[in-house]
Amino acid sequence: MPASKILMITGDFTEDYETMVPFQTLLACGYTVDAVCPGKKAGESVATAIHDFEGDQTYSEKRGHNFALNATFDSVRAEDYDALVIPGGRAPEYLRLNADVIKSVRHFFEAGKPVAAICHGAQLLAAAGVLKGRTCSAYPACRPEVELAGGIYADIAITDAVSDGNLVTAPAWPAHPSWLRQFMTVLDASSIPETNAA
Protein backbone atom coordinates (compact mmCIF):
# COMPACT_ATOMS: atom_id res chain seq x y z
CA MET A 1 0.00 0.00 0.00
CA PRO A 2 1.15 3.58 -0.59
CA ALA A 3 3.03 5.13 2.31
CA SER A 4 2.44 8.76 1.37
CA LYS A 5 1.12 11.07 4.08
CA ILE A 6 -1.14 13.77 2.65
CA LEU A 7 -2.27 17.06 4.15
CA MET A 8 -5.67 18.44 3.13
CA ILE A 9 -6.27 22.09 4.00
CA THR A 10 -9.96 22.93 4.00
CA GLY A 11 -12.45 25.24 5.70
CA ASP A 12 -16.07 26.17 6.11
CA PHE A 13 -18.14 25.95 2.93
CA THR A 14 -15.54 23.91 1.16
CA GLU A 15 -17.12 22.21 -1.85
CA ASP A 16 -18.71 18.98 -0.63
CA TYR A 17 -17.67 16.59 -3.43
CA GLU A 18 -14.23 18.19 -3.76
CA THR A 19 -13.56 17.48 -0.09
CA MET A 20 -15.36 14.21 0.63
CA VAL A 21 -14.44 12.37 -2.58
CA PRO A 22 -10.64 12.90 -2.55
CA PHE A 23 -10.48 12.36 1.22
CA GLN A 24 -12.30 9.03 1.06
CA THR A 25 -10.71 7.90 -2.22
CA LEU A 26 -7.15 8.51 -1.05
CA LEU A 27 -7.86 6.73 2.25
CA ALA A 28 -9.38 3.80 0.37
CA CYS A 29 -6.25 3.59 -1.80
CA GLY A 30 -4.04 3.27 1.27
CA TYR A 31 -2.77 6.82 1.71
CA THR A 32 -2.84 8.61 5.06
CA VAL A 33 -4.83 11.86 4.83
CA ASP A 34 -4.98 14.51 7.57
CA ALA A 35 -7.77 17.06 7.00
CA VAL A 36 -7.27 20.34 8.85
CA CYS A 37 -8.84 23.77 9.11
CA PRO A 38 -7.30 26.84 10.76
CA GLY A 39 -9.00 27.61 14.07
CA LYS A 40 -10.47 24.11 14.41
CA LYS A 41 -9.34 20.91 16.09
CA ALA A 42 -9.51 17.22 15.24
CA GLY A 43 -13.06 15.98 15.78
CA GLU A 44 -14.63 19.32 14.90
CA SER A 45 -16.36 19.82 11.54
CA VAL A 46 -16.45 22.22 8.65
CA ALA A 47 -19.68 22.94 6.80
CA THR A 48 -19.63 21.95 3.15
CA ALA A 49 -21.44 23.49 0.19
CA ILE A 50 -22.82 21.59 -2.78
CA HIS A 51 -22.13 23.36 -6.06
CA ASP A 52 -24.03 22.21 -9.11
CA PHE A 53 -24.46 23.22 -12.72
CA GLU A 54 -28.18 23.66 -13.35
CA GLY A 55 -28.33 25.84 -16.44
CA ASP A 56 -27.72 29.22 -14.78
CA GLN A 57 -24.91 31.62 -15.61
CA THR A 58 -22.91 30.30 -12.66
CA TYR A 59 -23.09 27.33 -10.33
CA SER A 60 -25.80 27.04 -7.69
CA GLU A 61 -24.87 26.59 -4.02
CA LYS A 62 -26.67 24.55 -1.37
CA ARG A 63 -25.74 23.51 2.16
CA GLY A 64 -23.97 20.18 2.19
CA HIS A 65 -22.69 17.87 4.91
CA ASN A 66 -20.66 18.40 8.04
CA PHE A 67 -17.15 17.15 7.20
CA ALA A 68 -15.26 15.92 10.26
CA LEU A 69 -11.64 17.00 10.56
CA ASN A 70 -9.22 14.32 11.72
CA ALA A 71 -6.24 16.52 12.63
CA THR A 72 -5.60 19.90 14.26
CA PHE A 73 -4.17 22.66 12.07
CA ASP A 74 -2.07 24.18 14.86
CA SER A 75 -0.47 20.79 15.58
CA VAL A 76 0.59 19.77 12.07
CA ARG A 77 3.82 20.65 10.30
CA ALA A 78 3.90 20.80 6.50
CA GLU A 79 7.40 19.29 6.63
CA ASP A 80 5.90 16.04 7.95
CA TYR A 81 3.75 15.50 4.84
CA ASP A 82 4.54 14.14 1.39
CA ALA A 83 1.78 15.94 -0.52
CA LEU A 84 -0.97 18.56 -0.30
CA VAL A 85 -4.63 18.56 -1.41
CA ILE A 86 -6.61 21.81 -1.71
CA PRO A 87 -10.36 21.40 -2.31
CA GLY A 88 -12.39 24.15 -3.92
CA GLY A 89 -15.57 25.86 -2.84
CA ARG A 90 -15.79 28.99 -0.72
CA ALA A 91 -13.04 28.05 1.75
CA PRO A 92 -10.00 29.10 -0.34
CA GLU A 93 -11.47 32.60 -0.54
CA TYR A 94 -10.82 33.19 3.15
CA LEU A 95 -8.07 30.63 3.81
CA ARG A 96 -5.77 32.66 1.55
CA LEU A 97 -5.87 35.44 4.17
CA ASN A 98 -4.19 33.16 6.74
CA ALA A 99 -0.40 33.60 6.78
CA ASP A 100 0.18 30.11 8.19
CA VAL A 101 -1.86 28.53 5.39
CA ILE A 102 0.14 30.46 2.80
CA LYS A 103 3.39 29.37 4.44
CA SER A 104 2.26 25.74 4.35
CA VAL A 105 1.29 25.92 0.66
CA ARG A 106 4.65 27.47 -0.22
CA HIS A 107 6.50 24.69 1.61
CA PHE A 108 5.10 22.02 -0.73
CA PHE A 109 6.19 23.95 -3.80
CA GLU A 110 9.62 24.85 -2.44
CA ALA A 111 10.19 21.18 -1.55
CA GLY A 112 8.86 19.96 -4.91
CA LYS A 113 6.19 17.80 -3.28
CA PRO A 114 2.98 16.77 -5.09
CA VAL A 115 0.10 19.25 -4.86
CA ALA A 116 -3.47 18.69 -6.04
CA ALA A 117 -5.85 21.65 -6.26
CA ILE A 118 -9.30 21.78 -7.76
CA CYS A 119 -11.77 24.49 -8.71
CA HIS A 120 -11.37 27.55 -6.45
CA GLY A 121 -8.32 25.95 -4.83
CA ALA A 122 -6.35 27.98 -7.36
CA GLN A 123 -7.19 31.09 -5.31
CA LEU A 124 -4.93 29.73 -2.59
CA LEU A 125 -2.16 28.93 -5.07
CA ALA A 126 -2.37 32.42 -6.56
CA ALA A 127 -2.23 34.07 -3.13
CA ALA A 128 0.80 31.95 -2.21
CA GLY A 129 2.64 33.19 -5.31
CA VAL A 130 3.47 29.70 -6.57
CA LEU A 131 1.90 29.80 -10.04
CA LYS A 132 4.44 31.84 -12.01
CA GLY A 133 5.14 29.96 -15.25
CA ARG A 134 3.04 26.98 -14.14
CA THR A 135 0.10 25.52 -16.04
CA CYS A 136 -2.96 25.48 -13.81
CA SER A 137 -6.61 24.60 -14.29
CA ALA A 138 -9.33 26.06 -12.10
CA TYR A 139 -12.98 26.97 -12.19
CA PRO A 140 -13.22 29.38 -15.17
CA ALA A 141 -14.13 32.32 -12.92
CA CYS A 142 -10.68 31.96 -11.31
CA ARG A 143 -8.85 32.37 -14.62
CA PRO A 144 -8.00 36.05 -13.95
CA GLU A 145 -6.41 35.13 -10.62
CA VAL A 146 -4.33 32.36 -12.18
CA GLU A 147 -3.11 34.66 -14.94
CA LEU A 148 -2.51 37.68 -12.66
CA ALA A 149 -0.35 35.38 -10.51
CA GLY A 150 1.77 34.58 -13.58
CA GLY A 151 0.23 31.17 -14.22
CA ILE A 152 -0.80 29.70 -17.56
CA TYR A 153 -4.52 28.97 -17.35
CA ALA A 154 -5.42 25.54 -18.74
CA ASP A 155 -8.72 25.94 -20.58
CA ILE A 156 -9.77 22.29 -20.51
CA ALA A 157 -13.02 20.35 -20.36
CA ILE A 158 -14.74 20.25 -16.99
CA THR A 159 -14.08 16.50 -16.88
CA ASP A 160 -10.32 16.86 -17.47
CA ALA A 161 -7.30 17.59 -15.31
CA VAL A 162 -3.78 18.77 -16.08
CA SER A 163 -0.39 17.97 -14.56
CA ASP A 164 2.58 20.33 -14.57
CA GLY A 165 5.40 18.59 -12.77
CA ASN A 166 4.30 18.11 -9.16
CA LEU A 167 1.13 20.21 -9.62
CA VAL A 168 -2.16 18.54 -10.59
CA THR A 169 -5.22 20.76 -11.10
CA ALA A 170 -8.76 20.51 -12.43
CA PRO A 171 -11.71 22.85 -13.05
CA ALA A 172 -14.34 21.22 -10.82
CA TRP A 173 -15.65 17.97 -9.30
CA PRO A 174 -16.73 16.38 -12.62
CA ALA A 175 -12.97 15.95 -13.22
CA HIS A 176 -12.45 13.72 -10.15
CA PRO A 177 -11.55 10.53 -12.08
CA SER A 178 -8.88 12.30 -14.13
CA TRP A 179 -7.69 14.57 -11.31
CA LEU A 180 -7.29 11.83 -8.72
CA ARG A 181 -5.73 9.39 -11.21
CA GLN A 182 -3.12 11.98 -12.25
CA PHE A 183 -2.47 12.97 -8.63
CA MET A 184 -1.91 9.36 -7.55
CA THR A 185 0.45 8.88 -10.51
CA VAL A 186 2.51 11.87 -9.34
CA LEU A 187 2.33 10.65 -5.73
CA ASP A 188 3.51 7.18 -6.61
CA ALA A 189 6.32 8.51 -8.80
CA SER A 190 7.51 10.82 -6.01
CA SER A 191 7.66 7.93 -3.52
CA ILE A 192 9.98 5.76 -5.64
CA PRO A 193 13.41 5.89 -3.98
CA GLU A 194 16.24 7.05 -6.16
CA THR A 195 18.97 4.50 -6.80
CA ASN A 196 22.55 5.21 -7.68
CA ALA A 197 23.73 3.76 -10.94
CA ALA A 198 26.58 1.27 -10.54
CA–CA distances in Å: residue 22 to residues 27, 110, 119? 8, 24, 13
Residues 6+ apart with CB under 8 A from 160: 137, 170, 171, 175, 178
Report which of 139, 188, 131, 140 is spatially closest to residue 164, judged by C-alpha positions: 131
Contact 114, 168 (CB under 8 A): yes
Parallel, antiparallel or unpaired: strands 32-36 and 14-15? unpaired
* Residues acting as catalytic residues: 119-120
Report which of 95, 4, 108 is spatially closest to residue 46, judged by C-alpha positions: 95
The whole-angstrom separation of Cα 158 and Cα 137 is 10
The whole-angstrom separation of Cα 186 and Cα 97 is 28
